[in-house]
């Protein structure tokens, strides 16, 4: 059990640059009082890098230095790690790994507005097209803790924060932590289903893509065409106020 010994869960939120990681993490931190750590900012302020990559216009991250910096912080729990990579962190650090995904045309516009061009733009768009980060997360972490969430719009990000806030609430429930009930998040045609052995809840997702853990891409796509309905209790709605400037930060 990843979270054994922690009083609060640790989450990793990853995804291609421009998918809304920092906005999502900031709002989730406000909603849950979890601590948000932006690894890119940490690398810059602490000098946890091996110099500057001229082609991709970014620091060359020193993964060992980053892990050393975070190691003691992660032990106590209650941390949201925000970074566009995920395979170098210790598996035991996280109770949930969230991969944000964005439609390619939307992502292209966001990245060009940030000044991305040439190889830097092309490599990030290709990374999203081929679901590189989702595959990386599924290969690096246990089946059942990797969740993919669509992040195209303000409404998407609001729903995602609601889903993650509810997940954190369930993790904190004493019966959930002590019995470690299986949690599965399954996508159907128009709903997000949060299932454990004692309850079934459903959050309307209005066609947003959503999946958790273990399935192949073909299986995920097949599950998205399903249209089964399940009895449910509505999850609480979290109202998130997003300004246009917030969206531009994605």
Q: What is the pLDDT along the chain (250 residues), one digit of tens a residue?
A: 455 578 999 999 999 999 999 999 999 999 999 999 999 999 999 999 999 888 888 889 999 999 999 999 999 999 999 999 999 999 999 999 999 999 999 999 999 999 999 999 999 999 999 999 999 999 999 988 999 999 999 999 999 999 999 999 999 986 455 434 444 444 433 344 444 433 333 343 433 444 444 433 334 433 333 333 233 333 443 444 444 444 444 4
Give me Rg for the CA atoms of the chain: 18
Give the long-range contacts of residues 180-187, CB within 8 A, separation 24 or more.
180/1, 182/144, 183/144, 183/212, 184/144, 184/212, 184/213, 185/147, 185/210, 185/211, 185/212, 185/213, 186/211, 186/212, 186/223, 187/211, 187/220, 187/223, 187/224
Q: How far apart are CA 61 and CA 40, in angstroms?
A: 9
Q: State the pLDDT at residue 79.
A: 99
- Annotated binding-site ranges: 18, 20-23, 114
CA angle 248, 78, 244 (to 5 degrees): 15
User: Is residue 179 within a helix (H) or strand (E), and if so which, with residue range?
Assistant: helix 174-179
CB 156 within 8 A of CB 163: no
Q: Which two tokens stand for residue 97?
A: 């790994």
Helix (H, G, I), strand (E, B) or coil at 138: helix
- Whose CA is closest to 205, among 182, 223, 217, 183? 223
Helical segments of 76-117, H only: 104-113
Q: Which domains does the chain have, with CATH numbers?
A: 10-173 (3.40.50.300)
CA distance 13 to 85: 9
Dihedral (CA of 247, 203, 205, 97) sign: positive
DSSP-assigned states of every residue in 211-226: EESS--HHHHHHHHT-
The pTM for the full model equals 0.73
Give binding residues for ATP as ranges: 18, 20-23, 114
Spatial separation of the C-alpha atoms in residues 156 and 204, rounded to whole Å: 11
The Cβ of residue 143 has, within 10 Å, a number of other Cβ atoms equal to 10
């Amino acid at each position: 059990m990843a979270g054994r010994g922690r009083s609060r869960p640790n989450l990793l939120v990853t995804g291609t640059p421009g998918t809304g990681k920092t906005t999502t993490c900031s709002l989730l931190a406000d909603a849950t009082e979890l601590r948000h750590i932006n690894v890119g900012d940490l690398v810059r302020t602490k000098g946890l890098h091996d110099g500057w990559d001229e082609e991709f216009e970014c620091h060359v991250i020193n993964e060992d230095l980053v892990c050393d910096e975070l190691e003691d912080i992660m032990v106590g729990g209650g941390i949201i790690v925000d970074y566009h990579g995920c395979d170098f962190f210790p598996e035991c650090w996280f109770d949930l790994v969230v991969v944000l995904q964005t439609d390619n045309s939307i992502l292209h516009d966001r990245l060009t507005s940030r000044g991305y061009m040439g190889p830097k733009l092309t490599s990030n768009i290709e990374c999203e097209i081929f679901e590189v980060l989702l595959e990386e997360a599924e290969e690096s972490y246990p089946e059942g803790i990797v969740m993919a969430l669509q992040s195209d719009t303000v409404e998407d990000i609001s729903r995602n924060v609601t889903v993650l806030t509810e997940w954190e609430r369930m993790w904190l429930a004493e019966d959930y932590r002590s019995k470690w009930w299986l949690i599965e998040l399954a996508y159907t045609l128009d709903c997000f289903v949060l299932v454990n052995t004692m309850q079934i809840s459903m959050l309307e997702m209005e066609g947003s893509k959503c999946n958790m853990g273990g399935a192949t891409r073909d299986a995920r796509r097949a599950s998205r065409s399903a249209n089964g309905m399940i009895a449910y209790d509505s999850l609480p709605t979290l109202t998130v106020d997003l300004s246009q400037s917030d969206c531009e930060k994605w």
